[in-house]
Amino acid sequence: MIKKLFVLLLTRISGESKRAGIYGKYLGIKFGKNVRITGIPIFGSEPYLISIGDNVTITQGVMFHNHDGGVNVIRHKHPNIDIIKPIVVGNNVFIGANAHIMPGVTIGNNVIIAAASVVSKDVPDGVIVGGIPARIIKTIDDYEKKVVPQAVVLKNRHDQQKRKEEILALFQKSN
């Protein structure tokens, strides 16, 4: 009971990312270093079976499903049946908004999961996947070749006020 109150207190005084991370750790999720959570993801009914690597970003509405709830339809024949599997997220991964990560999936390193994707199979290292079901769209190397030439380079990426001023100045020059 005291642990629950402590977690509740911490979630009230910290930002979204910390709040979800604190709650996730309380649920038993294994987090690596530098995990960024924006919004509130859903960690499923067996969150203690989720492992998240280093340098991972999980965005708004991502859902981790550790079980197959469809077995409820046949539970009258098999009352004690369950399908429960772990989920593993590698290092340097970005999971887009409202993506669904299904039971037993392992996501490799250096991966982008597109928004609203349903990831039902393992994802190899170094790719972008998207769609329903998620399929490989391109490699991270191809993505890098496409986006780097059009990217904005910011000097003040970590100072929010200076970052805002720098971005506004860039767009005022282009108008």
Q: Tell me the catalytic residues.
A: 65
Q: CA-to-CA distance for 112 and 136, rounded, in angstroms?
A: 10
Measured CA to CA, the distance from residue 145 to residue 132 in angstroms comes to 26
Q: For the range 108-115, what are the long-range contacts, defined as Cβ-Cβ under 8 Å and sequence gap of 24 or more?
A: 109/53, 110/140, 111/140, 112/140, 112/143, 115/59
